[in-house]
Amino acid sequence: MDWQAGVPPTNGDGLEFRSPDGEATLIVSGALHVDATIGEAMDRFAKPDEGEVVTSTERDERSVTVAGDAGDHAFYRRSILSCHDQVWDTISIEYPASKEAQYAPLIAHIAASLRSGPSAEVPDCP
């Protein structure tokens, strides 16, 4: 698939990609960890957005993954704490629920590949 990148936000904290058929979006972003605790941040990331129903939640010490439905679309979001616990890296995909079999390999790849990168080891990160 040839996904098309959207216009980068002015703050440079992420980018949205749209599938060739325009029915799915993939967002990659980063945001400073501003919550008082990691647990509070993970609770916030695990909450459904308006119109969403979370059907699956997974958490570990430094990441949270949620998946579910939003009307006729499904979603998958994974947020991982990196950069000496200073930055949350998030990837989110929303796609037609009727095409779950088509998107399952992409989601599996995303789930396996998103992890704290080398920047977590750099003292002057971010």
| Cα atoms in the Cβ-side hemisphere of radius 13 Å centred on 16 | 9
Give the Cβ contact number of residue 92 at 10 Å: 19
> Is pLDDT above 70 for 123?
no
pLDDT at 115: 73
> Is pLDDT above 50 for 120?
no
Mean pLDDT of 7-25: 88
Q: Which of helix, strand or coil describes residue 61?
A: coil
Type of residue at 99: K
> Is pLDDT above 60 for 17?
yes
Helix/strand/coil percent split, the chain, to 5: 25, 40, 35
According to CATH, what is the number of the domain 4-116?
3.40.1000.10
d(CA 68, CA 95): 11
- Residue ranges of domains in the chain: 4-116
**Summary mean pLDDT of the chain:** 88
Provide the whole-model pTM: 0.86
Give the Cβ contact number of residue 58 at 10 Å: 12
